[in-house]
Structures are given as structure tokens and as C-alpha cells.
A and B are shown apart, each in its own frame.
Chain A
């Protein structure tokens, strides 16, 4: 049955779907009270983010010129971050945006819809720890207003939000939950040997990224799901942090964090990389990797590199999955129960 039919049949369900409206209102009022500007940037772009594994929705723009019709390939954006950081470079120190983002070929899952609502915010003269504080304050205020509580009840568990939330480094998490030290973690061959010993049968042909994530998903993420508090997982290996600043005291890691609640990844944040030379190198490496993976290839966003050259102050920024946040606040198992028209209703299912 489609969601609109369920709503017609069971009017009590409207309340669950109205959580979305309350969350969107709550987010806007939280940021406006701190004098953030709300901005709108294009969804249709020529150079989307360079993340190697993301699949894109591709389209063409056609336009007439005196010499005939012209066509140019464009993409639906995967995140508004490049445009937003241009605005920070242009002089807006505190901005947020609520918009749709698009990722293709992600399969159907209770946590994915190819068109999803993303919240991004950026703070100039700040780093990822300031963004962690923002996350704590934002989610506490939403839960207080929507659930009238200081704790978040979700699927039979209660997540305590008071105080500051645990901040666990990747290095520590792999050591504690998978007994892997950082030297092994960062070396593809050592990690492959460890993975084989652990019983990952296909480790031999796996890339470092695959080994890292398979161990992460099987051993670290389930451990995060046992916490009764939200958790910031922080300081990612440099290879997984294309847009973030290196840690000053250990350049093998970068200032990136992800926020988890109940084992669900909710947000991804950085102390932004502001060095244009390094940004170009990392973007070029990413695009090369996209080529090897047979993904769509597009030019680097030169405008973004120029914005960095013109000077981007130290900036903290984040992308948060709003549909997942709504799912948590509505206490439902899947984001499909928060969307009036999930994609499953639009495409033929087997």
C-alpha cells in the first residue's frame, strides 16, 4: 500500500509524518537564533563533489546560440558543500542550507532514498569541535521541542542527550573493538593479513578502503549501536577525508567526524581543507580513482579552487541527513515511513 493510502486509512499516521515539518521548523529557528543566514545554492551543477564512490544523476542542458543548439552535461548535486564554501570565502561567516541532494545507485534500504534532504552548515573561524557542539545543541533543542524530553526514545531504547557526548577516535575504536593498531590499520597489506586471520575470506583482493569499511561495518558499527548516547567518531584516516584538514599532531589522520545515534550514521563533518594546492591534488586523485572505478568523470570545480586561493578562513562544516534525523524523532524504523512518497512507490519492484 502507498503512503497516501495508508494515511487515508489511518489518519493517526499524519502525526508521524508531521514530525518532518516540526524538524524543519526547529532547524530553521535554531540557526536563525544564532544569526546564521539561510542560503540557497543550485541543485543542477557542472562539477559535483569528487568523492570517488558516489554515483550521479546525469542530465543535459540545451540552449540556443547563433551558431546552433548547444548541449552541456550537468549533474544533480550530491551535496551543496562546494557552493556553500564559496559563499564563506566570499564573506558570509555563518550559513546553513536545507535542500535536496541526489545519489544514484545506492540500492534500496531503510536508510536511503536517492533524493534526500540534507542540512549543511558552515562556521568560519571555527573547527570540527565547534561543529560537534552545534550538533549537541541542535539535537537537544529538537528533542526537547518535539519529544518534550531531555532524552531520545527510539525503537525501545532511550538515548541520553544531557552533557557532552562521547568523542572516540577511529584509531581508538579500531583498537578497542577490532584489536587493530593504527600501524596495521593504515597499511593495506598488514590490514589484509589481519582481515584474513579474522575470517574475511575475500580480503586478498580487497582494496584498503574495502578492508577498512568491511571491518568497520562488521566490528565497529555494531559496537557503536550499543551506546545509550550519541557518539562522535572522529579523526579519520587521511585517505577517507578528501575535504578535511590534517591533524596537527598526527598527519596520518584528518579532522573529520561522523555522528552516530543507535549505530545509525547521521552526519559527516570536517575542519575544512583551505589549502588550494592540496585541494587540487586530492581532487585530482579522487577523479583518477573515479576513472578506475568507471564512474562519471567531470572537471574539477575550478571556481572552488579559486575561492580557496582568494582565502577561505579556517572553517568547520557539516552535512546531516535530515530524513534519518526525522526517522529517529518519529521513532520509526525506516526513512520511508517519514517520506510521503518514497522512491519505492515510483519504481517497479520485483
Chain B
């Protein structure tokens, strides 16, 4: 059984909490009243999607799930689920939207994602740090005061809206940071 010190738990990792497999969606250190160190985590139940928050002592050992990752291709959305396919075996898997935690805003057929499995159960999706997305709507830039806001809102193919420089136009392909949801650069 792999364990991790609670103070080292990372967002996006998986732990067992009160017997259940959980996805870690947020972590934060806490020092109550100048006391010793604690780690507050927000966990999502893989099966029910319910969220719980728990505070560990930061030196406490927590069971980390032995998760395997398989490279998969995004196919389509199906209600509250996302369908991915293994490009080698053509096997398809459905992952609850709940477990993507906002990651669905970067899904295109080109993006390389890893679906994580725990005992054959899909438990999460890991995205590359940058996603390549096409601009579908970019308003004409108003010259304005260049010393100030030299950015505008543009809409990408997945519906995600990012702030991009004024020179970005429809049809451009952008790199977007999948952790912050911010514009990184133009790719073409």
C-alpha cells in the first residue's frame, strides 16, 4: 500500500478516505492559532461525486491509490459523462463530468489526455499543461489606450472564453494553460 504524507498530497491525486476512493480537488495548509501544521483537502467521492473536506495532520500518512494512466482520445459528451476511446484497443470508457473538475473546457479530438483508472474504474482525467484551441469568435479590436488594456475576450471552439491580445482573430489557434485557463500564446 502506497502512502503519502498529508502535507505532500497534490491536487489531482487520488487517496482512500474512510474506505472510499477519492479525487483530491483542493489542498491548503492550515496553522490554527499558531499551532502545528495541518493540511486541509477537499475530496470528491469517485463513485457518488459527493464532496467532503477533511483536515489531516500534515505529518499523517494517507493511503494513496495505485492509479494507472492510459492515453485516450476524447470522443463526445453524453449528458453528464464524457466518452473517451483507447486509440489502440478502440475500447471506450465513460467518465463522469464531475471528475473532470473544469477540464472539459479543453477537450478536443486532438488533445492528448490520460484517463486514470483504479481497479478498472475511471477515477480522473489528466490533461497536458497546455491545450491547443481554435478561436471561433474574436471581436474586432478597438484601438483604445494601448498603455492600458491591450487584451480582449475571445471565444474558443470548446466555448471557453479567454483574454487574448488584440491581434488575435477568428481562426487562430491558441495555446491555453489548462491549470489557470489563461492565454499563453498563438500557435500558428
Contact = CB atoms under 8 A, between A and B. Distances in A.
B30 A210 contact: no
A9 B163 contact: yes
Contact of B34 (A54, A107, A214, A216): A54
A268 interface: yes
Interface stretch (A108-116, A124-132, A307-315): A108-116
A196 interface: no
Given A109-B29, A218-B54, A11 B34 contact: no
A108 B28 CA distance: 7
Given A8-B148, A107-B7, A217 B33 contact: no
A299 interface: no
Contacts of A236: 33
Nearest to B53: A222
Interface string A111-145: 11000000000000000000000000000000000
A53 B35 contact: yes
B40 A1 contact: no
B57 A240 contact: no
Interface in A211-233: 212-214, 216-218, 221-222
A106 interface: yes
Contacts of B160: none
Contact of B55 (A10, A110, A217): A217
A187 to B, nearest CB: 18
Contact of B29 (A54, A107, A214, A216): A107
Interface in B51-70: 53-57, 60-61
Contacts of A109: 28-30
A212 B32 CA distance: 10
A258 B31 CA distance: 13
Nearest to A79: B34
A110 B57 contact: no
Interface string B142-173: 00000011110000000000010000000000
Given A109-B28, A110-B28, A213-B38, A240 B33 contact: yes
A217 B32 contact: yes
Interface size class of A (residues with CB under 8 A): 20 to 34
A163 interface: no
Nearest to B54: A218
B148 A53 contact: no
B88 interface: no
Contacts of B35: 53, 209, 212-213, 240
Interface residues of B, number: 28
Nearest to B7: A107
A206 B59 CA distance: 10
Residue picked from B28, B32, B40, B182, most chain A C-beta under 10 Å: B32
Interface string A196-212: 00010010001101101
Nearest to B40: A217
A275 interface: no
A202 B29 contact: no
Given A11-B148, A214-B38, A53 B31 contact: yes
Given A9-B150, A10-B149, A213 B36 contact: yes
B141 interface: no
B148 A218 contact: no
Given A53-B31, A217-B38, A218-B55, 11 more contacts: A1-B182, A9-B163, A11-B148, A107-B7, A107-B29, A109-B28, A199-B18, A202-B60, A213-B32, A213-B38, A217-B40
Interface of A: 1, 8-11, 51, 53-54, 106-112, 199, 202, 206-207, 209-210, 212-214, 216-218, 221-222, 236, 240, 258, 265, 268
21 contacts: A1-B182, A8-B148, A9-B149, A9-B150, A11-B148, A51-B34, A53-B31, A53-B36, A107-B29, A109-B29, A110-B28, A202-B56, A206-B57, A210-B36, A213-B33, A213-B38, A214-B55, A217-B38, A217-B40, A218-B55, A236-B33
